[in-house]
Amino acid sequence: MSIPTIGAPRSRVDGPDKVTGAAKYTCDRALPGMLHAVVVPSTIAYGRVVSIDDSQARNAQGVVLVMTHRNAPAVDQNKVGEQDAKLFLLQSDEVEFDRQPVAVVVAHTFEQAVHGADLVRVHYEMRTPQMALDSGTLFIPKQIFGAPAAHARGSAEPALASAHGKVANVYRTPTEHHNPMETHGTVAAWDGDELTIYDSTQWAFGVRTRLAGVFKIDPANIRVIAPFVGGAFGSKGTAWSHVPLAAMAARATGKPVKLLVTRPQMFGWVGHRPQTEQHVSAGASADGALVAMIHDVTNETSLSDEFVEPSAVFSRDLYAVPNYTMHQELRRLSISKPTYQRAPGESTGGFAVESAMDELAYELGIDPLELRLINYAERNPNNGKEYTSKKLRECYSQAAERFGWSKRTAPPRSMQRNGMLVGWGMATASRATHRGESHARITMHPDGNVVLAVGTIEQGTGSPTVYPQLAAEVLGIGHDRVRLEWGDTNLPEAPLAAGSQTAASVGSATVLAAQALRDRLASLGGKIPDDGITIEIDAKVDEAAENRYAQQAFGAHFAEVEVDPDLLHVRVSRFVGAYDVGRVLNAKTAGSQLVGAVVWGISMALYEKTRFDMRTGRIMNATLADYLVPTNADLPKPDLITVEDDDERVNPAGVRGMGEVAMCGSAAAVANAVYHATGVRVRELPITVEALL
């Protein structure tokens, strides 16, 4: 029996709960006797706390505790893993960035805690912050996500020098803050030496490891529960300072404590995409074949951490260019630690490289799409490996057809409609496929219903809907007979839900568990024992098998913009994309992921930028009124498709990751369309009116 369930556009099983408010997020948790904590963030970016007057705050109604570096318990704020951020747990008077935690006020109600936090007077000795990218102390990383940070194949410089046509330009992307709808938040409760944490996180197990390090306790004594997560996008991939601060406040007061991060504090200690400066040179022969490319990337990092935004990964792995070099370096500034933001590396790198390809196309007089096809890589250009599957050519052709690319006239300002300048631009999408080790437990009860248990999380991507679909497909039963248990370190361990790796990781564990269950059931002649059947599996990642093929997701973006010829307002009027992501598990949730990524790419192209006062390091647009993202009125209804591709070589789930690929290159498609419309090449994001005047 086979019931077609995979790929079906099944609605979210938790949709009704989410839209009616029945779904509980961390901020909805209330424990008996619970207190509320609010962080007092620093108002300087660099210096030290000279004194704190907390007398008014301590005497305010309802305030139970004001915790500062003078009375905070000693904990270990050092990093455990390489990717961990240095935590700021009130262990010293040093201030390293704007909105660093300098005190925590605990009160009986949230409002009392907010008021108490306003009453804490902190006096600082301010030092001059390092804010300009080129003024920061240089740091050369050894590696980026396991690969060399400086790398070459062939000999790029001489090849570039003798190229028929070439471009060499600098592209810049700004600091950007994630701002998921649900801000960060933690509820902490101690029972003796046992700690229970509710946290809005992408990785309950990672939070547990970090807290064990901070408090020097056995991870077995910590349980982390991750209720529904209202968006994360990388910002909740690690336990930031407020998580242990909540636990410190709970221990100090002897009561459960809820600590919610406010919207302005989302611009503080919880990560951001770092600004980048990217030098891209590309040269080609007269027929358009790339002969050389050089991609040098500098990104900002904090004084105490090294986060690499691996932008050059995009150029390294995409086109068939024989002579290539890349180089990544960091500059230390008086800012908080940057972190992963949706498609780290390839989103920023995609903007630079796909803009450069557009510039090269004009330089050579070759259609931008044609230039990509001329340089199509049949194998990974960097390691020569065969792909598990690659349907990028189909992406180009299907999306170009839907968009009507063949009707494009090449010269800038050559297309107009209703008095508006019209521009058409395109770009390639590319993103590495990742997978991590995941455990899973599957139980078939005597009534035939199945429970799949994995300690992954639900951040809006559809875990409770999609993994049961996948198990049901293997078992040949209806998807409504499988239920997912998730979001708890008491369940089988799952990896960090990031890097578009969750479906590959948890999905593969699900498939393997369901296959084992199916086989056991068959061996029992189809008869379920009275105590049911339970299978636990550990879906390890076989490194040798992983390295046999190159694994990448691809796509093609086509954007149309309308530009007011006088007021120079840019509006994206059409966006067509086709994506090659392997097997699609659920057309509906997958479609939502693509739309989200494309919208974010448009947002990156035209709206988002964190604006610092360069004299003080203070962020001056830390609200959603001032940090712009597009409204519905700014957006077309994107026309996005996936190409058919049952990738049987990549992993048991057959997926290559789709949460991020549509974000890679999408900003470049918009920027290229703006050039086509106006004749103005903007190499710094966001593209705002002053760049076009």
Least distance in angstroms from the C-beta of 478 to another protein? 42
Least distance in angstroms from the C-beta of 641 to another protein? 26
Least distance in angstroms from the C-beta of 631 to another protein? 5
Least distance in angstroms from the C-beta of 424 to another protein? 21
* Token pair listed for 612: 């610092």
Give how far Cα 418 sits from Cα of 425, 565, 566, Å. 19, 11, 13
d(CA 278, CA 348): 9
Stretch that binds another protein, among 152-160, 297-305, 375-383, 562-570 (CB under 8 A): 562-570
- Residue 217 within binding range of another protein, rule CB under 8 A: no
CA 550 to chain centre: 22
- Residue 118 within binding range of another protein, rule CB under 8 A: yes
Greatest distance between any 2 Cα atoms in the chain: 77
| C-beta of 100 vs 510, nearer to another protein | 100
Binding mask 33-62 vs another protein (x if CB under 8 A, - otherwise)? ----------x-----------------x-
- Residue 621 within binding range of another protein, rule CB under 8 A: yes
Q: Which of 630, 680, 681, 684 binds another protein (CB under 8 A)?
A: 630
Give the CA angle between residues 579, 377, 296 to the nearest 5°. 90
d(CA 98, CA 270): 12
- Residue 177 within binding range of another protein, rule CB under 8 A: no
Least distance in angstroms from the C-beta of 435 to another protein? 38
Binding mask 434-453 vs another protein (x if CB under 8 A, - otherwise)? --------------------
- Residue 125 within binding range of another protein, rule CB under 8 A: no
Residues from 601 through 620 that contact another protein (CB under 8 A): 606-607, 611-616, 618, 620
Catalogue the active-site residues. 660
Contact, 319 vs 290, CB < 8 A? yes
d(CA 496, CA 499): 8
- Residue 181 within binding range of another protein, rule CB under 8 A: no
d(CA 491, CA 402): 45
What is the distance in angstroms between the CA of the first residue and the CA of the last residue of the chain?
65
Give the CA angle between residues 288, 293, 296 to the nearest 5°. 150
- Residue 251 within binding range of another protein, rule CB under 8 A: no
- Residue 689 within binding range of another protein, rule CB under 8 A: yes
DSSP 7: B
Contact, 539 vs 509, CB < 8 A? yes
Stretch that binds another protein, among 19-27, 107-115, 128-136, 528-536 (CB under 8 A): 107-115
Give how far Cα 11 sits from Cα of 16, 463, 479, 586, 589, Å. 10, 12, 12, 9, 8
Q: Which of 53, 111, 157, 644 binds another protein (CB under 8 A)?
A: 111
**Counting beta carbons within 10 angstroms of the beta carbon of residue 96, is it exposed (0 to 12), middle (13 to 18) or buried (19 or more)?**
buried
Least distance in angstroms from the C-beta of 512 to another protein? 47
Q: At what angle do helices 666-678 and 346-364 cross, to 10 degrees?
A: 30
- Residue 631 within binding range of another protein, rule CB under 8 A: yes
Binding site for another protein (CB under 8 A): 43, 61, 111, 114-115, 118, 566-569, 571, 606-607, 611-616, 618, 620-621, 625-626, 628, 630-634, 688-690, 693
